[in-house]
Amino acid sequence: MGISELIHVPEDFKTQFPWLVEAKFFDKLDSTQARVVQWLPKEANGAVLVIGESQTKGMGRQGRFWVSPPGGIWFTLALPIRGLTPVQLGAFSVVAALEVTNSLKEIYNLEAKIKWPNDIQYNGKKVGGILLNTITKFKQSWLLIGVGINVNNDIPGDLSDSATSIKIIRGQFQGRTRLIEAVLGHIWNSWTDFGNTGFGPYKNLVESKLSGVGKTIKILMGKKATSGTLMGLDLQGGLLLKSNAQTKTINAGEIVGIL
């Protein structure tokens, strides 16, 4: 399965996506997010991609371990940052989630949702996640977009209440290459547009895919919890939370409950 299906992909990708200056495939590696750094070139004239068939030290948000056995999609796309502020980069994390949900719809006809800021869910279970980091190398800043999607990989028993895979959802083994291609293409196109447009044109699109709009949600910011009605997003991709007739914006944290 998987390994032979993916092994030649990086060479194809460089032809198919001329904006990729480097594409590396590993059968097994620690973490694509950690490993991509070594391939970042001095001349930042394109993106760098690292795909792993499996990861031994997959990194999730908030320092969590990300289970990444063979059969899933685990990659990091490094994009050279030009002129975007940290707030704009934060908003792009929501856009990246939108592009993953758009790709799931396009390739598998799946109506996935976004649990702010960038969990990908199907029927309330996590099917994918995105990790964003920034790094500077050779005086150039890069945005590292780590994408993890459960496709054919097994879901460990202790995660089966909260996570699912595309194979489980669709009831059979699924090809991965078209989905990887779709996600890469969509993220790159948004990245090139986003520099000009900002988050504005994406706001309604993301809101239409957001889990919990109009519902009471509980959100954790570090150790601090708050709750309120999820009203939507602001123009920077922050979450608008209404409680006691006041609406506040949440820029960091994660939704831990939708009631």
Residues that bind ligand BTN (CB under 6 A): 31-33, 55, 58-61, 64, 66, 68, 74-76, 119, 129-131, 146-148
Q: How far is CA 101 from CA 10, 205, 228, in A?
A: 23, 11, 25
Residue 100 or residue 217: which is nearer to ligand BTN going by CB? 100
Residue with tokens 């939708």: 258
Q: How far is CA 88 from CA 19, 95, 102, 193, 232, in A?
A: 22, 11, 21, 13, 17
Residue 32 or residue 190: which is nearer to ligand BTN going by CB? 32
Residue 53 or residue 119: which is nearer to ligand BTN going by CB? 119
Q: What order do you get walking across the sheet with 125-137 strand by strand?
A: 20-29, 47-55, 73-80, 140-149, 125-137, 119-122, 113-115
Nearest approach, Cβ of residue 158 and ligand BTN (Å): 16
Nearest approach, Cβ of residue 205 and ligand BTN (Å): 21
d(CA 15, CA 36): 20
Residue 92 or residue 198: which is nearer to ligand BTN going by CB? 92
Q: β-strands 20-29, 119-122: how paired?
A: unpaired
Residue 16 or residue 56: which is nearer to ligand BTN going by CB? 56
Nearest approach, Cβ of residue 136 and ligand BTN (Å): 19
Nearest approach, Cβ of residue 243 and ligand BTN (Å): 26
- Nearest to ligand BTN by Cβ — which residue? 129
Q: Please, is 60 exposed, middle or buried when counting C-beta atoms within 10 Å of its C-beta (0-12, 13-18, 19+)?
A: middle
Nearest approach, Cβ of residue 247 and ligand BTN (Å): 27
